[in-house]
A and B are shown apart, each in its own frame.
Chain A
């Protein structure tokens, strides 16, 4: 009985968070003030992180809160400092992008209806390699860490390289030349 009550409360919390996220997105799409848009993006990320906590994915929630709500908000505000804070009026009516997004959404919802139930132990994804991961031959209590760093160490090496490449790309794009070369073009 208590377990069922907990289930209902959890469902309520997640639903409430999803409704709030949908509201944030609607307001985000309507606003023309870019500062408000950046703050709304941060709110969206925090709601997402809370939903992740409610779904017991604490590792992802941590990342979402730190990257989505923290660092990207700061970066967007930094970019906003360099340009005007009102979005320019679009030249065309956005019917084609709207139709594209709507049809993608319909496709995704149609696909999601075919997925197994949430947390169904008989789902194919829980029958493949997951049981071996959970036997925990590496003896690390946090299975997420064990999977990321050990079982799928090669993937994580690739991801780290992607992050590294992003940093190198930013350096290559934005680095100023030395003051000596500041005769003509001072930026690469």
Chain B
């Protein structure tokens, strides 16, 4: 699909908005529909779209494998870390009430970081699975045809 002019132009126009929409879904998830999982998947879908049109190599240059693999683990660690932070501040595991003097603000803080963790892991896993499949001689990967 690399040589399709219409797809290239439309892709160039759309990809930034898809990524921006993912961030909106992430940070507006407390007020509207959405949350970490949806944001991670939409972000990954935007990157997959980019990779399909501009080639896997270009996508890999934007988000290298090292980064994606780090994201895989970093999200879960961040999530679990929020729980440990609750323990250190004298609450139960994953108790957000103790994360701030004001319990409601503590809840908001806990939910925010937990959602970030979910989004990072989900985005990393989706991208990694796509990279793995696509580089096995797939669409335009370097593998044997």
| A67–B125 CA distance with the chains assembled, in angstroms | 12
Main secondary structure of the interface of A (DSSP, over half): helix
Residues of A within 8 A of B73 (CB): 164
Choose the segment among A91-99, A122-130, A144-152 that binds chain B (4+ C-beta atoms closer than 8 Å): A144-152
| A183–B69 CA distance with the chains assembled, in angstroms | 27
B33:A71 contact, CB within 8 angstroms: no
**What distance in Å separates the Cβ of A2 from its nearest Cβ neighbour in chain B?**
25
**Number of residues from A at the complex interface, CB < 8 A:** 41
5 smallest CB-CB distances across A and B, nearest first, come from A167-B125, A58-B33, A138-B107, A78-B133, A66-B41
- A residues engaging B (CB < 8 A)? 58-59, 62-63, 66-67, 70-71, 74-75, 78-79, 81-82, 137-142, 144-146, 148-150, 153-154, 156-157, 160-161, 163-164, 166-168, 170-171, 174-175
- B residues engaging A (CB < 8 A)? 25, 29-38, 41-42, 44-45, 48, 52, 69, 72-73, 75-76, 79-80, 83, 93-94, 96, 104, 107-108, 110-111, 114-115, 117-118, 121-122, 124-126, 128-130, 132-134, 136-139
